[in-house]
Amino acid sequence: MSPTVDTAVPVGDAILRRQRIRESAARTYARSFPIVPVRANGMTVEGADGRRYLDCLSGAGTLVLGHNHPVVLAAIRRTLDSGAPLHLLDLATAEKDDFTTALFESLPPAFADRARVHFCGPAGTDAVEAALKLMRTATGRRGALAFTGAYHGMTSGALAVTGSVAARVPLAGAGDVTRLPYPYPYRCPFGVGGERGAELSVTYTERLLDDPSGGVAAPAAMILEAVQGEGGVVPAPDDWLRAMRRITAERGIPLIVDEVQTGVGRTGAMWAVQHSGITPDAMVLSKAIGGSLPLAVVVYREEYDGWPPGAHTGTFRGNTLAMAAGAATLRYVAANGLVARSEQLGARMTARLDGLRSGLPVIGDVRGRGLMIGVELVDPAGTPDACGALPADPELAVRVREACLRRGLIVELGGRHDAVLRLLPPLTITDEQAEAVLDRLGDAVEAAARCTP
């Protein structure tokens, strides 16, 4: 008898089973989306089981041109064929030079004209660390001002267990972080909602910083997102951002804007700071700037460039392919009207989703900017808070995510209670794909609210 191959278990199921038993308990998306992608093109991902999905996760907001965009693939192929070295620490290369040119051309001129860039280890969190260290060095202060609902990354303690006294002692540790209230009209930290909540956040920040007994030592920096992503897609009002810029400038506090998720057209501006017109002291960039490959930088005004050689090193700061893919992506987004497309289509999709609220009371709030859209799911039977917001419903959100997947739609959750559906489609999404996303999402919310598949 000839040996038999066990074909009873589909290959995708076998891979998923091996992943379950071999990979870390800390894995995340793999739990939410038990699929094995084998091919991806634009917004479509095909699983090993032959099913096709519309991808509104886009590598957590990374893939502004979708999967395997021809321009990105061409840049990668060109670089591979050129024989350029692929890994180079922070040495000068033509690819890095070109990426830096593309990046500086894309940044607001008032910022880019007098800016420096530092290439970091290839993760947003490393660039955040770099920005904080830079400002600690520049100001000689330790503390930072940060906001409720903020997400800036996951590294902790790497410096704390590093031996080098010179590297560690002046900067290690988180320092004191003073947490300030981020405006969030639906779940207002002051219980008043609307514009008033944002105004109170400004007043509170200003008075706290000026109160000699407020408990806050002069900080090294303020760090914020112009639209909070992981915090539940919460856009800050432009006036509030301008106020934070004024408050920090008046008090000599460097302002770091974390554009890891909001950058490269995602919010309907090339960079989210452009909505308010503020010029930060530093911008932290990652995700989309690498054109789907790992890359992270901090860009900052040159007067802060006083840190010594080696102040923020890392092995993988010279990813040639990511620089080529990133430069191609930045130029393609700018040259093909994708920023305006993000703004217009995002507004249309947000309005359509908002329109679902009347028929689907489980949708508590719909908000966003450009193609960064959030749908907050609530329990309509719960007791409203002072602003009329109903309790978040994370269990319903999980059911909706599952119902979306069954309908061929990949949507991840976020927000304070993990009850916000977060839509981050590529900026190349077509009108037909947008319709399909909205139809599938609406259908999934309805089914999940009725507890049917």
Q: In whole angstroms, what is the distance from residue 167 CA to residue 186 CA? A: 43
Q: How far is the CB of 123 from ligand PMP (least distance, A)?
A: 4
Q: How far apart are CA 370 and CA 353, in angstroms?
A: 13
Residues, the chain: 453
Min dist. Cβ of residue 6 to ligand PMP (A) = 38
Cα torsion angle, 350, 402, 233, 449, sign: positive
Percent of the chain as helix, strand, coil, to the nearest 5: 40, 15, 45
CB-nearer residue toward ligand PMP: 229 or 364:
229
What is the token pair recorded at 185? 């009209």
Residue closer to ligand PMP (CB basis): 69 or 152: 152
Decide: helix, strand or coil at residue 178. Answer: strand
CA distances from 324 to 68, 124, 278 (A): 14, 18, 29
Query: Considering the complex, what minimum distance in angstroms separates the CB of residue 9 from ligand PMP?
Result: 33
CB of 350 to ligand PMP, least distance (A): 20
- Partner residues linked to 423 by β-bridges: 373
Closest approach of ligand PMP to the CB of residue 151, in Å: 5
How near is the Cβ of 122 to ligand PMP at its closest, in Å?
A: 8
> What residue type is 283 in one-letter code?
M
Tell me which residue of 199, 257, 248, 270 sits closest to 226, measured CA to CA. Answer: 257
Nearer to ligand PMP, 286 or 342 (CB): 286
Closer CB to ligand PMP, 225 or 393, in the complex: 225
Residue nearest to ligand PMP (CB): 124
CA distance linking residue 236 with residue 189, whole number of Å:
13
The Cα–Cα gap between 310 and 424 comes to 36
Q: Which is nearer to ligand PMP, 225 or 343 (CB)?
A: 225
Specify whether the CB–CB gap between 306 and 300 falls below 8 A. Answer: no
Closer CB to ligand PMP, 376 or 393, in the complex? 376
- Residue 153 Cβ vs ligand PMP, minimum distance, rounded to whole Å: 4
Name which of 258 and 365 has its Cβ closer to ligand PMP.
Answer: 258
Binding site for ligand PMP (CB under 6 A): 60, 123-125, 128, 151-153, 225, 229-230, 258, 260-261, 286
